Structure 1
Amino acid sequence: MGRKTALLLILLLFGVMIAGCINQQTSPTLSPQETPKETAQPASTTSISTTISTSTTEKPRYPITITDFEGRKVTIEKEPQKIVSLAPSITETLYFLKVLDKVVGVTEYDNFPPGVKEGRTVIGGFSDPNIEVIASLKPDLIIGTSMHVKYLKQLEQIAPVIIIDPKNMEDIYKAIELLGRVVDKEEQAQKVIADMKSKVEEVQNAIKDRPKVKVFYVVWNNPLMTAGKGTFIDDLIKLAGGENIFSDIEGWAQVSVEQILARDPEVIILTPHCGMTVQDVYTSELSKTTAAKEGKVVVIQNEDILVRPSPRIVQGLEELAKVIHPDAFGGKYPLTVVDFMNRTVTIEKEPQRIVSLAPSITETLFYIGAGDKVVGVTEYDDFPPQVANITKIGGFSDPNVEVIASLKPDLIIGTSMHVKYLEQLEQIAPVIIVEPRNIDEIYKQIELLGRITNREEYARSVVNEMKAKVDYITSMVKDKPRPRVFFISWWNPIYTPGRDTFQGDLIELAGGENVFSDLTGWAQVSIEQVLARNPEIIILSAHAGISPEQLCETELAKTDAVKNGRVYVISDDNIISRPGPRIVLGLEELAKFIHPEVFNYDPQPLRCSATASG
């Protein structure tokens, strides 16, 4: 009886197993969409098959077969545990999908999230991954872009390879959805996509009904490259309320200055590594564009949020929208601020007609995208070139109050030099006084002007770009000896910057020791004082009233600076004397004079004939 019962149980178990096999063979095929050329659709209407070996009542598991952006069918046998990412955008996406702990290899360019390379192996560059290093990690999944198709044969011998290559926002959503399925994070992928779409909708609502603005995006300067049709940059510009002036050209295209001028952009977008600066725009043929004339040339400092097709792309979209349509964001008026003289000033509405009482202020307004609001400048204003066509209100120290009043400004911005005119000026319009004494206060000035003109995004971008330049220079000279530096602002009588001056601050930042840092402000000194401090380097203002050759004929020929031929002349006083965004160009020049060996600079300084022969 026992044997019969056992035999019956075995037969029943066998029948169940057969039924299970039949059930597996007849289970439905899920069809999630993953081709980049299609729009997002529900899973039931998609075109790429993903075969799951489970019943219809269970969550799809592995093995899973997907079709990547190259149209390749790839089978993932089991849930990936050791992933190699061949692009920063892929790493970022995996981070948002909450599987960064499974990533064992990243490129040398990966920098998000902060510390992403810690505890992970760097597998080489983005375009040139090290196959041997990748193989040594024994990954069970490799994810790359179209850049890596040339390595496919080698990579496929190591692990399954998925290629993603999004060209627009819809493609980015699809890439996230695809990776979510591959790493078993479909729900998280949908949440990430929903958050992104919500941000896109928020931006779209902010710029709703605003006119399209013509945009030129600089990918590279030499040769001039831009993003055309079929790039996610083109898509972002459109979503941000812009009109890409080269949307009729396919892909990443080379263009000419003549083409740019003919299409006349209203906004020019630069990034830190595009090889072009705001200064370059204002001093080239591009200064003829409407963008340059109105001060709408902006550097988006964090280019990663623009050029990496990951979930962070929506941050880039928002930043683009703010520089294309600044009036659509922020700018709550009336606005009350405290200026550099500790005066509380209320601005009732966004300024549209600004009078600038100093060249540095004018330059700042143009850099922060408020150049089109400037209706009056001093006769000393000469940058950017467009200021030549703006009404002159007199000198820097003696503005003509009647001319200012005739312009009917709604904001006047001056320096401590203009405090004596405050009573008269305040009868015309609100007056803001700025008086930066060092680089940090220059940053504060830019941020203040950005706030009161509703150009905070531009101002933030300018400050970030300046800080990046300052950080680079200070890091280069950090551990170098600090030579004694004497800066001559004016010769007869001798004036030099002491502490609490931005020029004195620049000398220190450039890796020098200001020999008169114990004096305050712009100080008058004697030749005897200079000789006693024996500078190793002398730097002359371009209009100091004395040349290096003439210096040889003075008592200062006895200083180490002159004896060793280390006398330099600033190329343009304005980059060292105007406390605005261009001050970092002055810092860069000072650093080259003080530490030429660090910056591979060969200044060929002038020497006194006696010193040269001796």
Structure 2
Amino acid sequence: MQLPPLFPPLTVTDQMGRRVAVPFPPRRIVSLVPSQTELLFALGLGERVVGVTKFCIHPPEARQTATVIGGTKNFDFEKIADLRPDLIIGNKEENYQEGIEQLAAQFPVWMSDISNLDEALDMIRRVGFIGGRKEAAEQMAAQIAASFQQLPLPAELVPAAYFIWRKPYMVAATGTFIDDLLARGGFRNVFGHLARYPEVTPEQLQAAAPRQILLSSEPYPFKEKHLAEFQALCPQATIRIVDGELFSWYGSRLLESAAYLRSLQPVA
């Protein structure tokens, strides 16, 4: 591949308020977050991605053209060092602080911190700018924003619970990206009074009385066989398996999320 000419380093602020000096444009990028890996490829930066995690399944070629450097919470530091990255991109929630601090002592590490759509769009624009793909990122962010602005909202939000885990039951609550997308899709999170990803009991679920129970395909792989388990707890609720990537991946996959949320809205 033909590499772009190097310009003086950029000193940028990441979404955690950290100042990071990044070679411009970066030529050897390690991505520690699946949704941000997909974003880099969508912005035309795939040839510069030299390291990804084992969970970076989109696009399929990511794990074939780049070195797998472990998981999102257990990095192989030797492999990363061998890749000589000039930029590492991570996320506050998906990665672990100790590992990020160890990497930041040696390499430029830019961190995202995302709990709502506006912050996701900001991340897309910033990553595009750092990578020298400012115009493409601006266009992508504008397209995503427009798709959500066109989402119709029901007169009354539908009470819903969004499950991310089983044994113990865990849900997405307030302060999460999933909670923000639920509201934009016309749902009222019945566990919105709780924080982040709490455990809930069957009794709490029954007391919350959601009209819809959404079982995510990730991180726990809910399947059709689990529907009866929740239907027995809440006989009046509609139980659905939903695409967790379209609810929680905050990069280029958001281009598909608004249409997916529209498809989940009850027919008037």
Q: TM-score, normalised by structure 1?
A: 0.40
Q: CA deviation at 1:282?
A: 2.5
Give the unaligned 5+ runs of structure 2.
1-6
Number of the residue aligned with 1:136: 82
Three-state SS of the structure 1 residue aligned to 2:63 is coil
Q: 5 Å matches for 1:350-499? A: none
Q: Tell whether 2:255 aligns with 1:307.
A: no
Matches of 1:269 and 1:283, distance apart in 2: 13
Number of the residue aligned with 2:262: 321
After superposition, the C-alpha distances for 1:180-232 in whole angstroms (9 at most, x for unaligned) are 12112211111010110121123x2xx34442111110110111111111101
Paired residue for 2:73, among 127, 133, 156? 127
**1:141–1:161 contact (8 Å) kept in structure 2:** yes
Matches of 1:126 and 1:269, distance apart in 2: 25
Q: CA deviation at 1:77?
A: 3.5
Paired residue for 2:48, among 69, 94, 102? 102
Matches of 1:163 and 1:228, distance apart in 2: 23
Q: 5 Å matches for 1:45-84? A: 62-84=8-30
Matches of 2:56 and 2:157, distance apart in 1: 35
Distance 1:62 1:187, change over 3 A: farther
Distance 1:280 1:183, change over 3 A: closer
Three-state SS of the structure 2 residue aligned to 1:180 is helix
After superposition, the C-alpha distances for 1:468-515 in whole angstroms (9 at most, x for unaligned) are xxxxxxxxxxxxxxxxxxxxxxxxxxxxxxxxxxxxxxxxxxxxxxxx
**1:233–1:307 contact (8 Å) kept in structure 2:** yes
Q: Which amino acid aligns with 1:271?
A: S
Three-state SS of the structure 2 residue aligned to 1:62 is strand
Number of the residue aligned with 1:213: 158
Three-state SS of the structure 2 residue aligned to 1:297 is strand
**2:27–2:48 contact (8 Å) kept in structure 1:** yes
Q: CA deviation at 1:177?
A: 1.4
Matches of 1:266 and 1:314, distance apart in 2: 27
Q: Which amino acid aligns with 1:138?
A: R
Give the unaligned 5+ runs of structure 1.
1-60, 329-614
Matches of 2:47 and 2:90, distance apart in 1: 18
Number of the residue aligned with 1:297: 239
Q: CA deviation at 1:283?
A: 4.1
Distance 1:276 1:176, change over 3 A: closer
**1:62–1:76 contact (8 Å) kept in structure 2:** no
**2:30–2:52 contact (8 Å) kept in structure 1:** yes
**1:142–1:161 contact (8 Å) kept in structure 2:** yes
**2:24–2:130 contact (8 Å) kept in structure 1:** no
**2:33–2:53 contact (8 Å) kept in structure 1:** yes
Q: CA deviation at 1:281?
A: 4.1
Matches of 1:209 and 1:84, distance apart in 2: 42
Q: Tell whether 2:104 aligns with 1:163.
A: no
Q: CA deviation at 1:315?
A: 2.2
Number of the residue aligned with 1:13: none
Matches of 2:230 and 2:147, distance apart in 1: 37
Number of the residue aligned with 1:113: 59
Distance 1:314 1:240, change over 3 A: farther
After superposition, the C-alpha distances for 1:214-266 in whole angstroms (9 at most, x for unaligned) are 11101101111111111010001000011111111111111111111111111
Paired residue for 2:172, among 227, 236, 246? 227
Matches of 1:284 and 1:305, distance apart in 2: 22
Total equivalences in the alignment? 259
Matches of 1:89 and 1:284, distance apart in 2: 29
Q: Which amino acid aligns with 2:210?
A: P
Matches of 2:141 and 2:239, distance apart in 1: 32
Matches of 1:120 and 1:281, distance apart in 2: 38
After superposition, the C-alpha distances for 1:283-326 in whole angstroms (9 at most, x for unaligned) are 457443421xxxx21112x422222221213423432332232x
Q: Which amino acid aligns with 1:175?
A: M
Paired residue for 2:97, among 142, 146, 149? 149
Matches of 1:152 and 1:178, distance apart in 2: 19
**1:220–1:226 contact (8 Å) kept in structure 2:** yes
Number of the residue aligned with 1:199: 147
**1:107–1:124 contact (8 Å) kept in structure 2:** yes
Matches of 1:320 and 1:68, distance apart in 2: 29
Higher strand share: 2
Q: Which amino acid aligns with 2:27?
A: Q
Distance 1:279 1:77, change over 3 A: closer
Distance 1:69 1:92, change over 3 A: same
Q: Which amino acid aligns with 2:60?
A: P
Matches of 2:131 and 2:230, distance apart in 1: 50
Distance 1:157 1:254, change over 3 A: same
Q: Which amino acid aligns with 1:75?
A: A
Matches of 1:78 and 1:280, distance apart in 2: 49
Paired residue for 2:191, among 246, 250, 267? 246
Q: Tell whether 2:206 aligns with 1:265.
A: no
Q: Which amino acid aligns with 1:180?
A: G
Q: 5 Å matches for 1:13-24? A: none
**2:182–2:189 contact (8 Å) kept in structure 1:** yes
- Greater RCO structure (CA 8 Å; 6+ sep): 2
Q: TM-score, normalised by structure 2?
A: 0.89
> Among the aligned pairs, what percent are the same residue?
30
Q: CA deviation at 1:145?
A: 1.2
Matches of 1:238 and 1:284, distance apart in 2: 22
Q: CA deviation at 1:108?
A: 0.8
**1:266–1:289 contact (8 Å) kept in structure 2:** no
The alignment yields a C-alpha RMSD, in angstroms, of 2.0
Q: Which amino acid aligns with 1:238?
A: A
